[in-house]
Amino acid sequence: METTLLEPSKWEQFQAGWELFRDPILCALIAGCVLGFLSVYVVLRRMVFVSAAVTNTAGLGVALAFFAEIHLGVHVDPLIGAVVLSVAATLLLMVEPARLRLSRESLLGCAFAFAGGAAILVGDRIAQEAHDIQGILFGTAVLVTPDQLQAVAVAGAVLMVLHLWWFRGIAFVSFDRIGATVQGLPVKLLDTVLMVSIGIMVGVCARALGALPVFAFSTLSAIAALVLDLRLPWTFFTATVLGGIAGAGGYLFAYFYDFPVGGSQTVLSGVLVLLMMLVRLVQVPFKRRA
């Protein structure tokens, strides 16, 4: 009697390998949510290119960590390399460019181009880790190690608690700097907390997921939420949810349709912007009647 062996479906394979897929999905979900929340500050303060420059710098930090271990015999955790350089970049970009006779755009352009080019040059000298460098720059995070998930979860939890606790102050300083100064708020401290938060989260997430999806989560989530023209707290909430959907949803799409993970998460972030635009177009006639 002939027996036929049926190949398990994608869904059955996914269920069977859940322990393997759990960590990258959780990591993408947490990263998408926290970066989605922070993205509202990034977009409303017109710091989109700050996010691009910082994500490139995080990639350079990882590449330099590999370079130091391979060529200099000095062990530097790539995660530390990503976080240190991304925080340094955010602090550098806080410098008032007029003192250097530069515009803000010029400073951002220099940082973005230098970090991206340097990451490629350093990557060329560490052929052993070329795959990792490609993953960091373009986001091919099929697997996430427990250490990377733990770093993203801890950083995300600490930053979210801090930002929810100081939400009023950071939001006030971000959107009405003069008013906050008049009210006696510590403007520089709150500004520094915000920029360092972005640097830490971008660095940690870029090491785990790659620079490309991290840039998408930290910009497109807020753009999608802002299209709906909601009150500020709801805008933060919506951007957080959309970031999580893009992170976890993009991973699932990549798995079931055999696409690269980082590209799928980035494209899904863009699709969510288009969907929110459609929702906005449907909303407008009803709002006018009301």
Task: Give me the phi and psi of 236, to 5 degrees please.
Answer: -60, -45
Q: Is residue 287 part of a domain?
A: no
Mean pLDDT of the chain: 85
Write out pLDDT tens, residues 270-287: 999 999 999 988 876 666
Q: Is residue 284 part of a domain?
A: no
Q: Is residue 4 part of a domain?
A: no
Q: What is the pTM of this model?
A: 0.85
Domains of the chain: total = 1
In this structure, are residues 85 and 203 in contact, taking their beta carbons and an 8 Å threshold? yes
Q: Is residue 286 part of a domain?
A: no
In this structure, are residues 193 and 49 in contact, taking their beta carbons and an 8 Å threshold? no
Q: What is the per-residue pLDDT for 290?
A: 61
Nearest 10 degrees: Cα torsion 232, 159, 211, 235 = -10
* Interatomic CA distance for residues 246 and 244, integer angstroms: 5
Write out pLDDT tens, residues 77-116: 878 888 888 888 888 877 777 776 777 778 778 888 888 8
Q: Is residue 54 part of a domain?
A: yes
Q: Is residue 151 part of a domain?
A: yes
Which residue pairs from 224-227 have beta carbons closer than 8 angstroms and sit at least 24 positions apart in sequence?
224/269, 224/272, 224/273, 224/275, 224/276, 225/36, 225/40, 225/276, 226/40, 226/43, 226/44, 227/273, 227/276, 227/277, 227/279, 227/280
* Interatomic CA distance for residues 286 and 188, integer angstroms: 42
The CATH number that applies at residue 92 is 1.10.3470.10
Q: What is the per-residue pLDDT for 225?
A: 94
Q: Is residue 259 part of a domain?
A: yes
Supply the range of the domain harboring residue 125: 17-277
* Interatomic CA distance for residues 111 and 56, integer angstroms: 9
pLDDT < 50 regions, the chain = 1
Q: Is residue 12 part of a domain?
A: no
* Interatomic CA distance for residues 143 and 21, integer angstroms: 7
Q: What is the per-residue pLDDT for 138?
A: 59
